Structure 1
Amino acid sequence: MSRWDGKTRGSLTGYKIFLYFIRTFGLGAAYGLLKIVTFYYYLFAARPRAALKSFYSQALQITGREAQQLIRRNFYVFGQTLVDRAAFLLGKENEFRIRFENEQYLINIREEGKGGILLSAHLGNWETAGNLLRGRITASINVVMLDAEVESIKKFMDVSTGGSRFRIIAIKDDLSHVIAIRNALINNELIAIHADRYMEGARFLEVDFLGNKAKLPMGPFVIASKFDAPVTFVFAAKDGSRSYHLSATQPVYGRMKPQEMALLYVAELEKKVRDYPEQWFNYFNFFSE
């Protein structure tokens, strides 16, 4: 079964169509079109379907008809998060209800003046979370990521919607991203990092995750352990058609070993997967072979 290759998926034509529907007919019409698109995807996207089937069976012991229904739901909710992303950037955030659990933790981090590191995962709508945090919690938020989005799509989204409200710190072989992270923390900015996708050939930590062995990328946990900044685990799960539940855990202070930090992270991620299994958006073989 395939592993993650560091690339995002999607076509420029698809983005154009959904932006048109959102602008012209509204969010409800875009969701309606999405049902057709994701059903087609469910029928013909064999690899993502197989990856989810394996994950639900191994991690949550969900099989058979229940698993198939959950996979269909997963594809649809994932599509909704992409539509919501565009809607937020088009200024339609007032159409959504946002519930923020433990928002005060992030406010406290801001007030302490050392910046903060937010570890998250590809569960829920991380990009919408980043757009919400900027302005609500901080004037500046940075997302550390492989900047692998198709360039034509990225340019179109930037021109059509004004682009994301957060800054991207691209991971590079020359480790310049580490310097950028350091400078951002010195400026009391937030650093968001996804800690759930390991790329073949990179350094990793092997952990027990939902009763199975899984590899997590070492980089995010090394960064979290090296800088003198509080660390919290942040997630943004879709908990209704037009509502989101943002949550933050109590910050970790003091430097920890990467493996120790990873175990805390995994414990929180397990809770989120059990609460929102339809929002697990890793479409590759997640567990160690």
Structure 2
Amino acid sequence: MSRWDGKTKGSLLGYKIFLFFVKVLGLGFAYKLLKLVTYYYYIFAAKPKNALLEFYKDTLHITGKPALALVRKNFYIFGQTLLDRAAFLLGKESAFTHTFENEQYLLDIRNGGKGGMLLSAHLGNWETAGNLLKGRITPTINIVMLDAEVESIKKFMDLSTGGSRFKVIPIKNDLSHIISIRNALVNNEFVAIHADRYMEGSKFIELDFMGKRARFPYGPFIIASKFTAPVTFVFAAKDGEHSYHLSATAPITQKMKPEEIAGLYVKELEKKVRQYPEQWFNYFNFFQE
């Protein structure tokens, strides 16, 4: 089974169609159209479907019709998160509501003046979470990510929606992103990193996750351990058609080794996966065979 290649899937035409419907006919209509589109993927997208079925069966012990229903729901909610992202950036943020579990932790980090490291995962809607945090918690959110999206889609989204409301720090081979992270923290900004996917050839750490051995990228945990900024684990899961549940863990303020931070992160990720299995958006073989 394939592993993650660092690229966002999707066609330029598909983005154009859905942005048109969100703009002209509204989010509700786009959701209805989405049901047809995701049903097509449910029928014909064998690789991500089988990856989810294997995960649900072997990891969460969900089989048969319930597993199939969960896969279909997963595809639909994933599509919703993409539409929500576009709608939010098109100025339709008033359509969304959210609750924030342990919001005070992030306020405390901000008030500490050292910036903050936010470790998250491909579970729920990380981009909408960043947009919600911006302004409410801090004026600047930095997202550290592989800059491997299809360029034409990125350009179209930027021109059509004005782009994301946070800064992107692209990961570079020359490690210049480390300087950018340092500068952001010095300016008391938040730096968010996904810590659940690694690419073949990159350094990884192998940990027990959901009762199995899985590889996680080592880089995010090294970065989190090198700076003096507090570290917290944040997630934003969709808990209603137009609502989200954001959460943060108690900040890690003492010096820890990368392996120690990774161990705490994995325990929190396990909780979220069990709570929101339909929002586990890793469509590849997550475990080592």
Helix, strand or coil for the counterpart of 1:80?
helix
- For 1:287 and 1:256, the matched residues in 2 are separated by 26
Q: Percent identity of the aligned residues?
A: 73
2:263 paired residue number = 263
Do the aligned residues in 2 keep the contact of 1:58 with 1:212 (CA within 8 Å)? no
Matched, 1:76 2:76: yes
In structure 1, what residue type is equivalent to 2:33?
L
1:171 paired residue number = 171
Matched, 1:185 2:202: no
- Range 275-284 or range 50-59, more displaced: 50-59
Tell me by how many angstroms 1:58 deviates: 1.9
Q: What pairs up with 1:115-154 in 2 under 5 angstroms?
A: 115-154=115-154
1:13 paired residue number = 13
Tell me by how many angstroms 1:57 deviates: 1.4
In structure 2, what residue type is equivalent to 1:260?
E
Helix, strand or coil for the counterpart of 1:239?
strand
- For 1:146 and 1:237, the matched residues in 2 are separated by 22
Q: What pairs up with 1:224-263 in 2 under 5 angstroms?
A: 224-263=224-263
2:274 paired residue number = 274
Describe the superposition over 1:205-262 as per-residue Cα deviations: whole angstroms up to 9, x where unpaired. 1111011110000000000111001000000000001100010011001121111101
TM-score, L = length of structure 1: 0.99
Tell me by how many angstroms 1:62 deviates: 0.9
Tell me by how many angstroms 1:288 deviates: 1.2
Matched, 1:111 2:120: no
RMSD over aligned CA atoms reads 0.6
Tell me by how many angstroms 1:9 deviates: 0.3
- For 1:225 and 1:89, the matched residues in 2 are separated by 33
Tell me by how many angstroms 1:146 deviates: 0.1
2:29 paired residue number = 29
Helix, strand or coil for the counterpart of 1:111?
helix
1:222 paired residue number = 222
Q: What pairs up with 1:19-58 in 2 under 5 angstroms?
A: 19-58=19-58
In structure 1, what residue type is equivalent to 2:80?
Q
- For 1:57 and 1:211, the matched residues in 2 are separated by 13
2:101 paired residue number = 101
Q: What pairs up with 1:79-94 in 2 under 5 angstroms?
A: 79-94=79-94
- For 1:257 and 1:61, the matched residues in 2 are separated by 33
Helix, strand or coil for the counterpart of 1:60?
coil
- For 1:127 and 1:288, the matched residues in 2 are separated by 28
Tell me by how many angstroms 1:98 deviates: 0.8
TM-score, L = length of structure 2: 0.99
- For 1:83 and 1:141, the matched residues in 2 are separated by 21
In structure 2, what residue type is equivalent to 1:21?
F
Q: What pairs up with 1:55-66 in 2 under 5 angstroms?
A: 55-66=55-66
Matched, 1:2 2:2: yes
Describe the superposition over 1:152-190 as per-residue Cα deviations: whole angstroms up to 9, x where unpaired. 111111111111000100001110001110111011000
Where structure 2 has 5 or more consecutive residues not aligned to the other structure, the ranges are: none
Give the 4+ runs in structure 1 shifted more than 3 A.
none
Where structure 1 has 5 or more consecutive residues not aligned to the other structure, the ranges are: none
- Range 53-62 or range 208-217, more displaced: 53-62
Matched, 1:207 2:207: yes
Tell me by how many angstroms 1:198 deviates: 1.2
